[in-house]
């Protein structure tokens, strides 16, 4: 089973914005301060929108090469939330199921 650590904490993100062929700017979260260290993202897996009531959230699935991070950007509040960290290297042995960790 996938090892997903649910975090759900606000985080500070340094993001770059790029022109995107006449469409809205393309966002690339470059780095994040988390648990006393800087995480430098190397690749965006996928960006997709999701809704919570009338609020529009943009979900960024990012990786730094060691773990996968799920970030949410609230387009109204302009805030970033680290939703979860998934580390497959931990998933081979127990524990198999997701559990919650706090900062």
> Per rule CB under 8 A, is residue 25 in the interface with other proteins?
no
Q: Is 75 in the site for other proteins (CB under 8 A)?
A: no
Mark the segment that binds other proteins (CB under 8 A) among 10-18, 26-34, 60-68, 74-82. 60-68
Give the angle subtended at the CA of 75 by the CAs of 71 and 77, to the nearest 5°: 95
Q: CA-CA distance, 63 to 92, in Å (whole number)?
A: 19
Please report the DSSP string for 27-38 in residue order.
EEEEEEEETTEE
Give the residue with the Cβ less far from other proteins, 24 or 52: 52
Encoded tokens for 10: 């606000």
Contact between 2 and other proteins by CB under 8 A: the answer reads yes
* 68-74, strands of its sheet edge to edge: 43-52, 55-63, 68-74, 79-86, 4-11, 99-100
The stretch near other proteins (CB under 8 A) out of 7-15, 31-39, 71-79, 90-98 is 90-98
| Residues making contact with other proteins (CB under 8 A) | 1-2, 4, 43, 45-46, 48-54, 59, 61, 63, 65, 67-68, 86, 88, 91-92, 97-98
């Amino acid at each position: 089973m996938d090892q997903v650590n649910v975090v759900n904490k606000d985080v500070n993100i340094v993001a770059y914005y790029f022109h995107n062929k006449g469409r809205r700017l393309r966002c690339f979260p470059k780095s994040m301060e988390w648990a006393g260290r800087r995480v430098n993202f190397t690749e965006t897996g996928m960006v997709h929108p999701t809704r919570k009531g009338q609020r529009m959230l943009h979900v960024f699935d990012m990786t730094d090469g060691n773990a996968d991070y799920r970030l949410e950007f609230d387009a109204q509040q302009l805030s970033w939330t680290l939703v979860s960290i998934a580390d497959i290297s931990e998933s081979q042995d127990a524990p198999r199921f997701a559990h919650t960790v706090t900062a």
